[in-house]
Amino acid sequence: MPILNYQNKLILAPMVRVGSLPMRLLALHYGAEIVYSEEIIDWKLLNSVRQVNDVLGTIDFLDKTDGTVIFRTSKEEHDCVVLQLGTCDPNRALKVAKMVEEDVAGIDINMGCPKEFSIKGGMGAALLTNLPKAKEILKTLVESVKIPITCKIRVFENENDTLNLVKELVSTGIAAIGIHGRTRAERPQHPNRNGLIKFIAENINIPVIANGGSREIEKYSDIEKFKKECGVSSVMLARAAQGNCSIFRKQGILDLDTVICKYLEYAVNFDNSPNTTKYVIQNILKELQETPRGKKFLECQTLQQICEIWDLGDYCRKKELEFFERGMTCRRMITPDMFEPAKKRTKFEQFDDCKELRCAFIRVNYVKDTELPKSILLSWCLKNKIDDKPKYEIIHQGKLFRAILSLNGEKYTSSYWEKNKKYAEQGAALSCIYHLGLISKEKLIESGSVIK
């Protein structure tokens, strides 16, 4: 892997819930040269397991308890992706760095986040007033990890105080430093201290990455102006890129629909979370969410529904079928014991005598409560004068749930583990109404509830 060079670069800044793989690839597509992940807290990665996803062509770090994707990366960004880490402990930071150093081009320590969660945990901007700890974290990583280590900070009110802090951090051997030109207490409506960034850049000997200029950056030429005002060669964009990622294009900015469609292609190609995808598009649309199409978009709950709004429904459906046929383990197919060694695998004997179906309960498929699987089953029982009502037994393992439905001496279950009890019961009912012939497998496949 080539060593990452931070000189004269256009960079996608770390953004919570935005900086996942599809947005990073979109930024690279439009001209960014380095892309930062969203901040990931150290303990989340330490509670994850690394898996090669052959279907998507990605490296996935999955939560051991419920299979949630904590961090996903691909070969397309291998030489230019920086993982931003939230930490207050050098030992935890080092363990994470050793986990990911083969899969990312660099690691950045977040020393600028002003949010309460970070501050209370001793992370983010709290490290600015705990210099010994900040230096210990950076020095530990620099001395022990083969990829470049950087940090991102906010400034103090006083120029000299900021410069003294930066010089101390630079002394640890970091490869570059990102500087957001606002203090911990300031917010986007406050002016960015471009002159202070320039003062710092003139007095240290490593690359300075200027950040905080999104208020004054509306087109590509504004980036050059911001760069000159800050006296740096590299610029990091957050809000400007979040609003329209084609800001990185030298040829000019593109219309929002074009950008959204390209983003959705990446989201589909890499099985991005519908919630994350929706959040990103909301930040692109802004006030356009109030238009008729925007309001229709806000009602969407699945990736398929979102894609339909931008005429990519067929593309999404085709890719999802392709993934299923190639055997991809999607989020709903996580089991409590899938990350354990074979000899430790738990045997769930409760399911052995059940009629099972590989089906997931997807709430958005049911417009009316009378259409819910449990409602359909109860109506069938009443119509057929069955006195014994369906009974549900919940099997709970960690953060995952499955249900066993008992009816007329038979037991039914869905093979999917759900993240709440209600969905687990609906999944078991879905399996039951299928086995009773009340719904066809074709209809279940069409709705995305069943994987063939």
Token pair listed for 190: 């406050």
What is the distance between the alpha carbons of residues 106 and 337, in angstroms, rounded to a whole number? 32
Q: What is the 3-state secondary structure (H, E, C) of 154-183?
A: ECCCCHHHHHHHHHHHHCCCCCEEEEECCC
Residue type, 123: M
Catalytic residue among 80, 88, 113, 432: 113
Nearest alpha carbon to residue 12 among 32, 39, 26: 32
In this structure, are residues 445 and 452 in contact, taking their beta carbons and an 8 Å threshold?
Answer: yes
Token pair listed for 435: 């086995």
* DSSP code, position 340: S
Judge residue 425's burial from the number of C-beta atoms within 10 Å of its C-beta, 0-12 exposed, 13-18 middle, 19 or more buried: buried
Q: Check if 359 is active-site.
A: no
Nearest alpha carbon to residue 297 among 280, 314, 321: 280
Residue type, 192: N
Nearest alpha carbon to residue 56 among 263, 267, 245, 336: 267
Q: What angle do helix axes 159-170 and 194-201 make, rounded to 10 degrees?
A: 40
In this structure, are residues 400 and 419 in contact, taking their beta carbons and an 8 Å threshold?
Answer: yes
Active site residues: 113
